[in-house]
Amino acid sequence: MEAINWHGFFFLFFAIVACAFAMAVVVADNIVRMACYLVVSLGAVAGLYFLAQAEFLGAVQLMVYVGGTMVLLVFGVMLTARGPLASMRTGGGQWIMAAIAGGALLAMLLQAAFSVSDWAAPKTIQEQAAVEGSPSARLGLGLMGVRVDQLEQPNLMLRRGMSGHLLAFEIISVHLVVVLVGAAYLARAKRRLDHKQAKDDQRP
Amino acid sequence: MNLLAQPVGLPHYLVVSAILFVCGVVCMATKRNMLGVLMGIELVLNGANLNFVAFGSPMLRAGPSDGLGLDGQLIALFVIVLAAAEAAVALAIALNFYHTHATVDVDRGEELKG
Amino acid sequence: MELSETLPLLLGLAWLLPLASFVLIVFFGPRMGRGGYYAAYLATAAIMASFALSVVALAGWLAAHPLTAAAHGAHAAAASAAVSGDWYSLGEFGPLRITIGYYIDSLTLAMFCMVTLVASCIHVYSFGYMHGELSDVIDTLAPLANGQPVRRRGRFCRFFQYLSLFCFSMLGLVVAGNVAMVFVFWELVGICSYLLIGFWHERKSASNAANKAFIVNRVGDFGMIIGLMVLWTGMGTFSFGDYQTVNAKGDTVTKPGIFSQVRPGPNHRLQVPNGMVKMAARREIEKIAAHAPTINGDLPLRRASAAMMTWAAVKKWRAQGYGYGLLVVAGLGIFCGCVGKSAQFPLHVWLPDAMEGPTPVSALIHAATMVAAGVYLVGRFYPVFTPEVLLVIACVGCITLFLAATIALTATDIKRVLAYSTVSQLGFMMLALGLGGWLAGMFHLLTHAFFKSLLFLCSGSVIHSCGTNEMPRMGGLRKKMPYTATTMLIGCLAIAGAGLPGTVVGLSGFFSKDYIVAQDLSFWGANPRLGGPLYCAALIGAGMTAFYMFRLWYMTFAGQPRDEAVHHHAHESPRGMTVPLMILALLAVVAAWNVPGTNFGIEPLLTQAQPAGTAEGLAHGRMWPNVTVPAEHLSHSPAIHARAEWAAFGTALLGFLLATVLYGLRKWDPEDVRRTFAPLHRFLVHKWWFDELYALVFVRPVLRLSGWVAILDKQGLDWLADNSARAVAAVARLDDWIDRIFVDAPVNLTARWTYAFALRLRVLQTGNIRQYVLWLAAGAVALFVLMSLYWNYAVAGI
Amino acid sequence: MTELLTNILSPSWLAYAIAAAIQCALLLVVALASAAVFIWLERKVSARIQDRLGPTRVGGRFGWLQPPADGLKLLCKEDIIPAAADRLLFRVAPYISFCSAFCVFLALPFANGWVALRLDVGVFFILAVAGIEVFGVILGGYASGSKWSLYGAMREAAQVVSYEVPLALCVVVPVLLTGSMDLVEIGNRQAGWFTNWYVLHDPFTFVTFWVYATCAVASTNRAPFDLAEAESELVAGFLTEYSGFRWVIFFMAEYASMFVVSGLAAVLFLGGWNGPIPIAGLLHLGSDPDTATGFIANLLGLGNFLIKTVAGVTCVIWLRWTLPRLRIDQVMTTCLKYCVPLASAMLAGAVLWTYLCPGGLIARARHSLTIAAEQQHAPTQERK
């Protein structure tokens, strides 16, 4: 019996978890449970990232999604999950439509995944074991516009600028700030004001 | 194919991402709860991200060329950040929607229906 | 470092510091402490620093140019050692050079020290005087429509901000190196004066006074602009001193400035500059150009020869007097500006009203510095003036001093008395300058600055404690406010010119006034027919000065209190206000003295600055040949000087005694004196009916004319406008019709079609998100299928 | 050890499984043992602070067997699931918390190289995984179907989410100084005398350490930040409905996370396994754990690390029993108005410092660039 391929094993594990809980999200009714399942699914995806030598990305996934996004979601849930709202069933017709569309999409994607020939050929297990992940410093430098991995870039212009993502990084950062401010502005509580208006309406 | 024996390849990742993606789409398509739709979007984004990472990963493909290389991870990073931003805005919208309509049922927000 | 580098540096710094404080106060003033209290500290610090810098600069100058014992006329012909140049060139447009330049000689330095010193004292004084502005102010003198007094925020820091701006402008005016800059700062000080007179603009009188001052000054400035234009066109430069510039060939050449064009070396005699000659003689030049010899129509050659002939002819023309008139016009124009700024005879009406401003302002702007700027400018432009102009200046000054003095005799408002005395003192200076006594005029300008600001500050302290300007309600304040009384007494003595004739013992006013009178005397000697009236007027003016000053002092401080409320309410001013008084009093005493043992003093300092060649006077103006402006040093000959001294002293003493008898000892009752001279008194009380006269001659006609214009406008122009409008409307209606038929119709048609189409489309817009998602998915699938079926990889080049 | 097992056992996957199990067990033991010790410690310290003796009898002296006794008692308790509860989530919640708290130990190095999973992004991983803990709490609070629990959970959520920000900012500073997120490397950078510790590296790091301490206490929601279980206002916050074993699990999670934040503080700021005096270095023991001397050195390092960590935990306990509890608005104010700006300022300061002083991120960039260049020239040697 040949040496077991732990990479494959863990991949299988995480993949199954991710897919299973994703489906659970689809079928679940209770919004909070959906959130819970989603967390698990995303966590599993983070595991997949780790397997694919993207530790930093995995950590970010955990931090941002499972930490930030999920907590945000839970906030929303807490504020809106009450009795009837918590679970809202949809008609069977919708389900069928969705199933058809989804199935078509899935078929298409799978066909695409297996159709391209030179994707299908993986490295051997030994090679995979030999591959060492790119340290997160490279990623950071890439964001800063210094591309360590492209030193053999033939195009001199691209090499001088290192074809990094500094601009994109800046734009994203500013965008994030703006969005968060805007979100805070949108989400500020207007409840009390509504009550007052209601009172005013009752008065005359 | 026995993954315990064979090496993991690009197609495997693609399959997983495809499943996630479709789950997301179906979730968006079937949930009436606005937050459910939001979660669907998160799933879709994750599927896409997984693709980026897989294409960027050096170990999934034979031969020297490692596809997207670092760009895969970088783009995935951007996607995650944008997803966070989008979630924040979407939640804010949901809360406002709840304040005005006292519900999060997306079917009820159809004032602009033609 | 070289003196020519340090001086501009120091003075430039001293000049810009107040600007800095102004800017700072503008932006951060209100936030500096409660009510902007610390803004005052800032402004004061700035001006004191400028004073220090000026003193350093002066020291530097003295080190380079040691003062000789005042040997008048010894170096009359020598060029005055002035440091001139440009800090910054705003641009050169052909011959027109607009620069920020400097022209520094000992006069500039003396003015700098005087201005900054007086300004420092007044800043300090204002701490106390303006403290009421720190909190909200209820201005009882400014009733609203409903009779309630105005209630407004305090303007403490604004006051100091204006002061800083003024100091900046004044110093700029003094240091200015070219005419354009002079004019700019000339207007700036005008603005400051306007702002500060109208500081309490809620009061109708204040805002009126501000407007009056501003408008009257415009009249003067109009003349000044004319003068400047003539200068510019005639000499092709604004700069006082010689200046370097880059000619067409690109190498730097030294061009003569105004002074060296008007009075070229070596003997620095006044001569009409070539430019003016050519201007006046342009017809002849054209003739020459027309008939210039040429070799078969070679134009450049002709042009060259024409230029040469013109050059040769200039001397002849000058001898024939071409362009002399231009020089006269230029001088008169500039003097016009000075008349406006330092309130000389036709335009003197604004200064008394300007007393509506806060007293420190009156002291700084309307006594010591700004109004003196006119005199200063005359002194600056002295080399340009021809005998005719000088005579005009002298006459104007003489009339002014007499007239103002007479009005001051009867005024009862303490500040107005001082204002009129200022006008008359300025008249004295103008007179001196006009008679060729450059030194005398400038000397009096400086000394006067000290004792007049002292007097104003004293009156301010009195007003501050009494709350009224009216002297009849004061009296007996001597015991209440000893410091003010003493210092004011010193001021009165100084302005009256107290001193011992024949000795060198005397207050500052004594010396400067003696110079003026002596100059007057020597002028009389030079031209017997003209000089008499001027001399007598000056003497009488001096006497009246002594009279009204002591009248003021007696009415205010001596005798019994006339208004118990006021007297009871009165109190000595805080230390912050009295200390500047003492400093100024000291200066009023010693200003004219040389530092013992050395020959450093204002007089030798000024002597150094005497414009080259002006010292030995002028003779035989071209228009009035029999006018002779005597050389100044003649007036220092013992005979003339002694006589002048005694005469001035006698008249002053006379005035003093008269005042003492009338108001001090009350031997005679001023009342019956007044009754006996009732018509005269009314005449004087109404200030020679000047305001009424102007109202009659200028203001009312203007108003009536504008009324007519308004009627014309309503009846004529409006009718025209209405009808044209109607016509336009008719045309527009026509256009409208065309528009509807030929333009709108097709557009509307398309719009209707689009609308119908959209109505059919809108059913797709079911606001149902899930449906949209499904459509998305379906679309993606469809796209993929199409691609996989029909996408031609060969075509795509993949 | 894995090699050893593979030699003995076949098939190999069994060997792997056993090895993994053993390592897991080690970590678990560390977590549990530490929890037990800290519970005992907490009882004693609180007793001392309140002028009592605390547990004395159980297990002879010092009541050292008190924690097991407590555990036993709790296990014997009846565990209740309220009728209104969401049963599944109610059960799952404690395990989510504990798992996250436990997973953190994966990346926490106990000595030079002694770390279960040496990650290139160790610090980040720890922060991320620790962030999940709150999720269990929220679920628990929601699933209990009681308003007290819900309030507690919401407070916890708000508090932890807010405090993650300054915490991360503080953690970035040592990362910045090292130029790597690898905890082992961060620790080794501070080798040598105690002056090399990052807390003494420059004024900014010094302040950063204190900010970090505050935020760490807050993020483990211990007093004075324990708003989530404020017994004076909410009965027991998100723990109200929990009893018996699940309650114990939550407690384990709390103590484990205490251990983790203290350990993190030790590694990031207090030199990790490097003692104040580099004994190992002075004795030339070397740092390679495979050699005997290196092993001893590492044992010393382990001692250092544990001492620092326990000291940190003791301080946290001490804080809890000395300081009064803050109001929720005060908690948020502390975070958003003081910690965040302070941390940002410190970060900026540290950046400036590293930029002006040699070393730091810039040097790291050059360094890795050169490495990459070498790689491209001689990839084969790089591999080895």
Contacts of A137 in chain D (CB under 8 A): 179-180, 364, 368
pLDDT digits (tens, 9 = 90+) for B35-62: 888 889 889 999 999 988 888 887 777 6
Q: Cβ(C535)–Cβ(C520) under 8 Å?
A: yes
Contact B29 A9 (CB under 8 A): no
Q: Does C652 or C788 have the greater pLDDT score? A: C652
Contact A108 C770 (CB under 8 A): no
Question: Measured between alpha carbons, how far is C332 from C328 in angstroms, rounded to an integer?
Answer: 6
Question: Measured between alpha carbons, how far is C717 from C704 in angstroms, rounded to an integer?
Answer: 19
Give the number of residues written for chain B: 114
Which of B17, B26, B23, B81 is closest to B49 using CA atoms? B17
Residue A162 predicted with pLDDT over 70: no
Q: Cβ(C606)–Cβ(C439) under 8 Å?
A: yes
Q: What is the pLDDT of residue A86?
A: 55
Residue C376 predicted with pLDDT over 80: yes
Chain C: touching chains (3 or more CB pairs < 8 Å):
A, B
Q: How far is CA C138 from CA C141, C355, C565, in A?
A: 9, 20, 21
CATH number, domain at B31? 1.10.287.3510
Q: Which residues contact A76 (CB under 8 A, 6 or more apart)?
A: B35, B38, B91, B94, B95
Q: Cβ(A62)–Cβ(A43) under 8 Å?
A: yes
Looking at residues C376-383, what average pLDDT do you find? Answer: 91
Contact C777 B29 (CB under 8 A): yes
Contact A148 D86 (CB under 8 A): no
Which amino acid, one-letter code, is at A16? I
Contact A59 D132 (CB under 8 A): no
Q: What is the pLDDT of residue C72?
A: 46
Q: Does D117 or C593 have the greater pLDDT score? A: C593
pLDDT digits (tens, 9 = 90+) for C182-238: 999 999 999 999 999 999 888 888 999 999 999 999 989 999 999 999 988 888 888
Q: Are residues A75 and A140 located together in one domain of the fold? A: no
Q: What is the pLDDT of residue C491?
A: 93
If you ran DSSP here, which 8-state letter would residue D111 be given?
A: B
Give C461-464 contacts, CB < 8 A, sequence gap 24+. C461/C129, C461/C573, C461/C577, C461/C578, C461/C581, C462/C414, C462/C488, C462/C556, C463/C359, C463/C414, C463/C415, C464/C128, C464/C129, C464/C359, C464/C573, C464/C577
**Two structure tokens written together for D21:** 């199990």
Q: Are strands C149-152 and C137-143 parallel, antiparallel or unpaired?
A: antiparallel
Looking at residues C164-172, what average pLDDT do you find? Answer: 94
Residue C162 predicted with pLDDT over 90: yes
**Two structure tokens written together for C132:** 């009421």
Establish if D179 touches chain A: CB-CB under 8 angstroms. Answer: yes
Strand partners, C243: C255
Q: What percentage of chain C carries pLDDT values higher than 90?
A: 34
pLDDT digits (tens, 9 = 90+) for C546-581: 999 999 999 888 888 888 888 888 888 888 889 999
Residue D356 predicted with pLDDT over 50: yes
Residue D100 predicted with pLDDT over 90: no
If you ran DSSP here, which 8-state letter would residue D323 be given?
A: S
Which of D259, D335, D269, D271 is closest to D41 using CA atoms? D259
Looking at residues C162-181, what average pLDDT do you find? Answer: 92
Contacts of B80 in chain A (CB under 8 A): 57, 60-61, 64-65
Question: Measured between alpha carbons, how far is C785 from C737 in angstroms, rounded to an integer?
Answer: 56
Most confident of A85-94, C442-451, D367-376: C442-451
Which of C379, C384, C374 is closest to C338 using CA atoms? C374
Residue D304 predicted with pLDDT over 70: yes
Question: Measured between alpha carbons, how far is D296 from C708 in angstroms, rounded to an integer?
Answer: 113
Q: Cβ(C381)–Cβ(C334) under 8 Å?
A: yes
B108 found inside a domain: no
Q: Are residues A73 and A142 located together in one domain of the fold? A: no
Q: What is the pLDDT of residue B90?
A: 84
Provide the b/e sequence for D72-104 (b: ≥16 CB within 10 Å).
Answer: eebeeeeeebbeebbeebbebbbebbbbbbbbb
Looking at residues A127-133, what average pLDDT do you find? Answer: 67
Q: What is the pLDDT of residue A150?
A: 60
Residue C713 predicted with pLDDT over 70: yes
Kindly report which listed range (B17-31, D221-235, D261-275) carries the lowest average pLDDT score: D221-235
Touching chains D and C? (3+ Cβ pairs < 8 A): no
Q: How many CB atoms lie within 10 A of CB C368?
A: 30
Contacts of A111 in chain C (CB under 8 A): 788
Q: Does D227 or C339 have the greater pLDDT score? A: C339
Q: What is the pTM of this model?
A: 0.54
Q: Are residues A71 and A145 located together in one domain of the fold? A: no
Q: What is the pLDDT of residue A151?
A: 62
Q: How far is A136 from chain B (nearest CA, A)?
A: 10
Q: What is the pLDDT of residue B48?
A: 92
* Helix or strand (DSSP H, E) at C217: helix C204-235
pLDDT digits (tens, 9 = 90+) for A24-54: 988 887 777 888 888 889 889 998 988 887 8
Touching chains C and B? (3+ Cβ pairs < 8 A): yes
Of the partner residues A72, A99, A131, the one whose CB lies closest to the CB of residue B58? A131
Question: Measured between alpha carbons, how far is B51 from B15 in angstroms, rounded to an integer?
Answer: 9
Say how many CB pairs under 8 Å bridge B and C.
Answer: 36
Q: What is the pLDDT of residue D115?
A: 78
Q: What is the pLDDT of residue C728?
A: 95
| 3-class DSSP assignment, residue C349 | coil
Contact A45 B50 (CB under 8 A): yes
Q: What is the pLDDT of residue D372?
A: 67
Q: How far is CA C623 from CA C270, C277, C335, C619, D108, in A?
A: 15, 16, 18, 11, 108
Q: What is the pLDDT of residue D382?
A: 41
Looking at residues D132-140, what average pLDDT do you find? Answer: 83
B89 lies in which domain range?
Answer: 9-60+68-102
Average pLDDT score over chain C: 86
Establish if C529 touches chain B: CB-CB under 8 angstroms. Answer: no
Q: What is the pLDDT of residue D383?
A: 42
The CA-CA-CA angle for residues B95, B97, B98, to 5°, reads 65
Residue D2 predicted with pLDDT over 70: no
A140 lies in which domain range?
Answer: 135-189
Q: What percentage of chain C carries pLDDT values higher than 70?
A: 96
Q: What is the pLDDT of residue C113?
A: 93
Q: How far is CA A80 from CA A76, D135, D210, D289, in A?
A: 6, 18, 38, 55
Residue D362 predicted with pLDDT over 60: no
Residue A75 predicted with pLDDT over 70: no
Strand partners, C139: C150
- C387 preceded by a cis bond (ω within 30 of 0): no
Question: Measured between alpha carbons, how far is D361 from D363 in angstroms, rounded to an integer?
Answer: 6
Looking at residues C712-732, what average pLDDT do you find? Answer: 91
Interface with chain C: mutation pick from B22, B110, B111, highest number of C CBs within 10 Å: B110
Question: Measured between alpha carbons, how far is C471 from C481 in angstroms, rounded to an integer?
Answer: 15
B56 found inside a domain: yes
pLDDT digits (tens, 9 = 90+) for B61-105: 766 555 677 778 888 888 888 888 888 888 888 878 887 877 777
Q: What is the pLDDT of residue C169?
A: 94
Looking at residues C514-523, what average pLDDT do you find? Answer: 89
Contacts of C780 in chain A (CB under 8 A): 105, 108
Question: Measured between alpha carbons, how far is C560 from C663 in angstroms, rounded to an integer?
Answer: 11
Phi, psi of C148 (to 5 degrees): -70, 145
Q: What is the pLDDT of residue C73?
A: 44
- Considering only alpha carbons, which residue of chain C is nearest residue A99? C774
Which stretches within chain D are classed as H helix?
2-8, 12-49, 66-76, 87-107, 122-143, 147-178, 183-189, 203-219, 244-268, 279-282, 292-322, 328-333, 340-356, 361-377, 379-383
- Considering only alpha carbons, which residue of chain D is nearest residue A144? D365
Residue C690 predicted with pLDDT over 50: yes
Looking at residues A44-68, what average pLDDT do you find? Answer: 83
Q: Please, is A186 exposed, middle or buried when counting C-beta atoms within 10 Å of its C-beta (0-12, 13-18, 19+)?
A: middle
Q: What is the pLDDT of residue C185?
A: 94
Most confident of C61-70, C517-526, D150-159: C517-526
Q: Does B60 or C320 have the greater pLDDT score? A: C320
DSSP string, C246-294: E-TTS-EEEEP-HHHHHS-TTTT-----HHHHHHHTHHHHHHHHHH---
Model confidence at C74, pLDDT cuts 50, 70, 90, reads: very low
Total count of domains within chain A: 2
Q: Which residues contact C119 (CB under 8 A, 6 or more apart)?
A: C47, C51, C163, C167, C170, C364, C369
Model confidence at D379, pLDDT cuts 50, 70, 90, reads: very low
Q: What is the pLDDT of residue C95?
A: 75
B17 found inside a domain: yes
A96 found inside a domain: no
Please say whether the dihedral angle defined by the alpha carbons of residues C775, C778, C783 and C786, taken in this order, is positive or negative: negative
Looking at residues C740-744, what average pLDDT do you find? Answer: 88
Interface with chain A: mutation pick from D9, D10, D124, D344, highest number of A CBs within 10 Å: D124
Touching chains A and D? (3+ Cβ pairs < 8 A): yes
Chain A: touching chains (3 or more CB pairs < 8 Å):
B, C, D
In chain D, domain spans = 1-76, 80-383
CATH number, domain at A43? 1.20.120.1200
B16 found inside a domain: yes
Which of C434, C372, C368 is closest to C398 using CA atoms? C434
Total count of domains within chain B: 1
Looking at residues C350-368, what average pLDDT do you find? Answer: 89
Q: How far is C785 from chain B (nearest CA, A)?
A: 17
A101 found inside a domain: no
CA C59, distance to chain mean position in Å, is 27
Kindly report which listed range (A64-73, C235-244, C759-768) carries the lowest average pLDDT score: A64-73
Q: What is the pLDDT of residue C20?
A: 94
Residue C731 predicted with pLDDT over 90: yes
Q: What is the pLDDT of residue C757?
A: 92
pLDDT digits (tens, 9 = 90+) for C602-620: 888 888 888 877 777 777 7
Kindly report which listed range (C175-184, C480-489, D68-77, D253-262) carries the lowest average pLDDT score: D68-77
Q: How far is A105 from chain D (nearest CA, A)?
A: 33
Q: What is the pLDDT of residue A74?
A: 66
Phi, psi of C541 (to 5 degrees): -55, -45
Of the partner residues D125, D154, D179, the one whose CB lies closest to the CB of residue A137? D179
Contact A56 D138 (CB under 8 A): no
Contacts of C768 in chain B (CB under 8 A): 106-107, 110, 113
Q: What is the pLDDT of residue C159?
A: 92
Looking at residues C99-126, what average pLDDT do you find? Answer: 92
Q: Cβ(B14)–Cβ(B60) under 8 Å?
A: no
Q: What is the pLDDT of residue D381?
A: 45
